[in-house]
Structure 1
Amino acid sequence: MPLSIHLNNEKRWYSGGETINGHVKFQCTQATAMDDIRVSFTGRTKAKVQKVKGSAAPSASYRSKCVLFEKERILSHLNGGTLDPGTYEWPFDFSFPAHVQSPGSSSGWSEKPPFRSDVNHPLPPSFAVETGDSLRNLECVIEYRVQAEVSKPQRGLLGKRSALFKETLHLRYLPLAPNAEKSGDQSTLYEQQREEVFEIRSILLLPENRGRSLTFQERVQSWVSAKLPRFSFKATFSYPTCVKQASTIPCFLDVLPFMEDSSVSQTPGIVLQSLSLWVVSETAARAAPSLIGALSGQVDEKIDLLSQSHIAMPVMGTLDLSQAFGPLRLGRSDISFSTFNLSRSYRLCASFVFECAGKSVGFNLTDMPFDVVAKIEANWEEEAQSSCAQGSPPPYDPASSVSTPNDKR
């Protein structure tokens, strides 16, 4: 290929605000007439949404494309002139934006969760996935590329510009995680809680009845009696709303007795019998309105974190689930984002079963949203760049989802 792109600061991934500089090289073997030579830097998203039908039924596809930003440099303008044989190089530099540079709501996209159409929302990461369920099939792509082009001379005033040679270099973009040192105590800043109060009514709450089972007559009496001993306790589940890629998810269960709302004088035993924790990742895409209409789709995928039964663990106070049952790790997952036509989000779900005085109660929690952010923080990036400037490469991060080489096509 006579046309090539060379970067001076080629990296596995780039973040917002970084400068991309290099040069375009063109090896001209014979005198060539051309209009100009230009280089562009573009970010765009592509979505394909397809209804799932029977094997014999036709299934229409709905597509959409969005330009997140677009920058262009004209390196040489010959205006139909001839370039003599030789090897030519033209330098260029671009800045990777941290936010979408688009008209926002005037682009035609409505503000409808989980998507975003507001002006200058955060630039989403590089992304590529094909997924589906019983209703929808989705193909989603977010790509960033540098493209060099040698264009043919235009014919006539309204002639369409066409490429004589074209070369594309794809780049990976990864938004940096917030700097924990600058944002304060991250463990408290990004913590949320869900709680529920339970009331137990049973004659087994009485000290003289503990440790035995109810007779049939006592069970019938418990169903009809309104003056049974009662005991109340509160269960609180704490979870983070911001999790780094491939990191442990810190989750805590707190059990607190409410003796002032209880008719018994002593706290009975509360036993954790079973628990389950899982994450639901949601990939969403939408296609722009067209002659065949508009279509959107969401595909959920379940990721199991922990599931145990027959635990029979007495609980009172605060229980660190990672210490008690092992690290709760999400693994290598794409970071959260939302833009015009694509979205990736996560929500945590949990289920606990407690037993107290022979009765079982369930503490069920769903739709606890949280964000997955890059494992690399802003201060790490500054240290890495400083290290590279001194001749030492930055440490390799095996958990990075963007540690693949650039591909050309």
Structure 2
Amino acid sequence: MALSIKLSYDEEKPLTPGSMVLGVVKFTTSEDRAIESLDIDFKGRTKVFLNQNYGDMVVSRTDFTSESYLFSRHTNLYSGERIEYKGTYSWPFAFRIPLFAAPRAVPPGSKDSFYPIRPWKGDAALVAHPLPPSMKQSGKFICSIQYSLDATLVYQAPAANHIKRKGAKLEASRSISVQSLDMTCCTQPADDWPYIVHRHTMCCALGRSSPRPICRLIPILPKISAHSAPEVKLFFSVWLPKKVEIKEQQAFFVPISCTMDSSAAGQELSPLTDEQCPNAVVCSFKLALVQHTHVRAGSHTSSSSQRVFIRRGSVTVPVSHKRSSATQTTTSTPTSSVNLCDATDMSLPPDLLNADFSTYNIARLHSLEISFRMKYGKKKHKFTLRDIPLRVVPQSERELDRRLNEGIEEDDEYGCYLIGIRWQDYRANTSCTLDHTRELLQAIIAEPGGDGDCVLEIPPPAYTA
């Protein structure tokens, strides 16, 4: 006797909020059984296990846990209380993954309430709560987001001597992986400029315009006899991306440039030669993508940071000459800029990237960190940019539009209202969706499985997708 859950979906197309989860519950028995009922639940949960050590000697240790549901769907597949003969039986089911987490029925002021403290979501906040992706992380704390299908079959053995036996349960569970959906593509206007500019100012001394040979031959002469070299400002600009999509053949494009202020002490300098104004040499740079995970259990919080992507290299940057007006911040990259991806491999493996999300007790964010060691003339400079926010989002490709066109659940209407999606503008062709769902379910039932052909000796009750 065995109970299993079999799914049917294209593994190359990951499940996202709004996707249909289609499958069958298969029951195989080698003897006659009286089946009372068969139920299946589709749930989303978040869990956090946080341990806190107090004192240097770790005398006391207290563990804190936090658990919350994201949604719950229940379907009764069969309730007949009739004797089924030995064989294999299948009951099809269909669930639609919601777009948003369901509001939790928690009374105000309850100890189980989650308050809306940044960066987490809360129960009382009137903001949309997009469904987070599946994840699991361990280390200084353990946290997970799981989506599971749980089937429960209640049966009785045939009555002996007219004595009805107590019903027994047979359970089966299966986890599914759900990726998040970018909700901002339909609610926020497109950003015309996907970069943010960071500028570092350096003071550098130019080479002498006409060095005297006598100064080099007789170094004991007073220094006042040599012309002092004028100081100029060198503006080193870095263009860092604001957002990165998780997709194949993705790379970081990080342009950098150097611009020299051609005025000194309010007066224009004479034209500079290449010898007097050499290129800026970036002896080494280091770019790191940092993933931050924040968790909470009650009033206790913890966080972890991990560098998931690191690249190093060196590059030479030509110095452009502009007037002092060039010191104003501009969005366009100059023609003399150099892209760091030309100096080293900046391709982003999609397996290393995880989308940002925020839920009741878990939040994941990303930031960039980049450091430079450079030399201009005889002077060395070093600086680092830290905690530069970077949004990591799943590949959109109008995926949200397709999900909305397929139709939404009633529970998602409120979430669409909060986030600003006009779901009424999307017309779902429900008849085609139902026909396609029935065809897929019939294919699942007729497909030979790993535990024997799925032959229905007694047809299951009627099912409407």
TM-score normalised over the length of structure 2: 0.64
Partner of 1:398: none
CA–CA separation in structure 2 for the residues paired with 1:23 and 1:295 = 42
Residues 229, 361 of structure 1: alpha-carbon distance in 2 compared, 3 angstrom cutoff: same
Partner of 1:32: 34
Contact 1:98 1:175 in 2 (8 A): no
Partner of 2:130: 122
Query: CA offsets, 1:268-327, max 9 Å, x none?
Result: 33412332211221122111x2xxxx3211111234522346x66545431111013332
CA–CA separation in structure 2 for the residues paired with 1:142 and 1:220 = 72
Partner of 2:422: none
CA–CA separation in structure 2 for the residues paired with 1:308 and 1:324 = 6
Partner of 1:192: 196
Matched position secondary structure for 1:59: strand
Q: What amino acid maps onto 1:139 in structure 2?
A: I
CA–CA separation in structure 2 for the residues paired with 1:100 and 1:116 = 11
How much has 1:3 moved relative to structure 2? 2.0
Matched position secondary structure for 1:276: strand
Matched position secondary structure for 1:60: strand
Partner of 2:364: 344
Residues 83, 219 of structure 1: alpha-carbon distance in 2 compared, 3 angstrom cutoff: farther
Instruction: Give percent identity, aligned residues only.
Output: 21
Partner of 2:46: 45
Residues 56, 76 of structure 1: alpha-carbon distance in 2 compared, 3 angstrom cutoff: same
Partner of 1:318: 337
Contact 1:179 1:378 in 2 (8 A): no
How much has 1:342 moved relative to structure 2? 1.1
Which has the larger displacement, 177-186 or 94-103?
A: 177-186
CA–CA separation in structure 2 for the residues paired with 1:111 and 1:77 = 42
Q: What amino acid maps onto 1:329 in structure 2?
A: L
- How does 1:149-168 map onto structure 2 within 5 Å? 149-151=152-154, 164-168=169-173
Of residues 267, 278, 302, the one that matches 1:297 is 302
**Cα RMSD, aligned residues only:** 4.1
CA–CA separation in structure 2 for the residues paired with 1:70 and 1:216 = 87
Matched position secondary structure for 1:322: helix
Q: 2:102 matched to 1:112?
A: no
Query: CA offsets, 1:91-124, max 9 Å, x none?
Result: 3211112222224996721222222235432211
Residues 38, 235 of structure 1: alpha-carbon distance in 2 compared, 3 angstrom cutoff: same
Residues 277, 77 of structure 1: alpha-carbon distance in 2 compared, 3 angstrom cutoff: same
Contact 1:348 1:368 in 2 (8 A): yes
Q: 2:109 matched to 1:90?
A: no
How much has 1:365 moved relative to structure 2? 0.8
How much has 1:367 moved relative to structure 2? 0.7
Query: CA offsets, 1:103-162, max 9 Å, x none?
Result: 49967212222222354322111111212xxxxx11121111111112479xxxxxxxx9
CA–CA separation in structure 2 for the residues paired with 1:104 and 1:364 = 47
CA–CA separation in structure 2 for the residues paired with 1:242 and 1:6 = 37
CA–CA separation in structure 1 for the residues paired with 2:225 and 2:113 = 66
Of residues 259, 262, 266, the one that matches 1:259 is 262
Q: What amino acid maps onto 2:373 in structure 1?
A: V
Residues 104, 32 of structure 1: alpha-carbon distance in 2 compared, 3 angstrom cutoff: closer
How much has 1:167 moved relative to structure 2? 0.8
Q: Which runs of 5+ in 1 are unaligned?
A: 132-136, 154-161, 383-388, 390-409
Of residues 108, 128, 141, the one that matches 1:138 is 141
Q: 2:286 matched to 1:282?
A: no
Contact 2:146 2:175 in 1 (8 A): yes
Residues 337, 308 of structure 1: alpha-carbon distance in 2 compared, 3 angstrom cutoff: same
Of residues 357, 380, 385, the one that matches 1:365 is 385
CA–CA separation in structure 1 for the residues paired with 2:401 and 2:229 = 63
Query: CA offsets, 1:36-94, max 9 Å, x none?
Result: 3211111111111123577864532211111111111122345xx55544554333211
CA–CA separation in structure 1 for the residues paired with 2:280 and 2:11 = 53
Partner of 1:395: none
Residues 280, 205 of structure 1: alpha-carbon distance in 2 compared, 3 angstrom cutoff: same
CA–CA separation in structure 2 for the residues paired with 1:72 and 1:205 = 78
Matched position secondary structure for 2:129: coil
Residues 56, 115 of structure 1: alpha-carbon distance in 2 compared, 3 angstrom cutoff: closer
CA–CA separation in structure 2 for the residues paired with 1:371 and 1:140 = 21
Q: What amino acid maps onto 2:73 in structure 1?
A: K
- How does 1:322-401 map onto structure 2 within 5 Å? 322-329=341-348, 332-375=352-395, 377-378=397-398
Q: Which runs of 5+ in 2 are unaligned?
A: 157-166, 321-335, 403-435, 437-465
Residues 348, 59 of structure 1: alpha-carbon distance in 2 compared, 3 angstrom cutoff: same
Query: CA offsets, 1:226-274, max 9 Å, x none?
Result: x972312322211222223362111111222222466533453341233
Q: 2:175 matched to 1:170?
A: yes
Residues 380, 123 of structure 1: alpha-carbon distance in 2 compared, 3 angstrom cutoff: closer
How much has 1:9 moved relative to structure 2? 3.2
CA–CA separation in structure 2 for the residues paired with 1:369 and 1:58 = 37
Contact 1:270 1:354 in 2 (8 A): no
CA–CA separation in structure 1 for the residues paired with 2:184 and 2:116 = 29
TM-score normalised over the length of structure 1: 0.72
CA–CA separation in structure 2 for the residues paired with 1:216 and 1:356 = 28
Partner of 2:24: 23
Contact 2:42 2:149 in 1 (8 A): yes
Query: CA offsets, 1:360-404, max 9 Å, x none?
Result: 33342111111223357446997xxxxxx9xxxxxxxxxxxxxxx
- How does 1:232-243 map onto structure 2 within 5 Å? 232-243=233-244
Residues 219, 312 of structure 1: alpha-carbon distance in 2 compared, 3 angstrom cutoff: farther
Partner of 1:63: 65
Contact 1:66 1:340 in 2 (8 A): yes
Q: What amino acid maps onto 1:271 in structure 2?
A: A
Contact 2:235 2:258 in 1 (8 A): yes
Partner of 1:208: 210
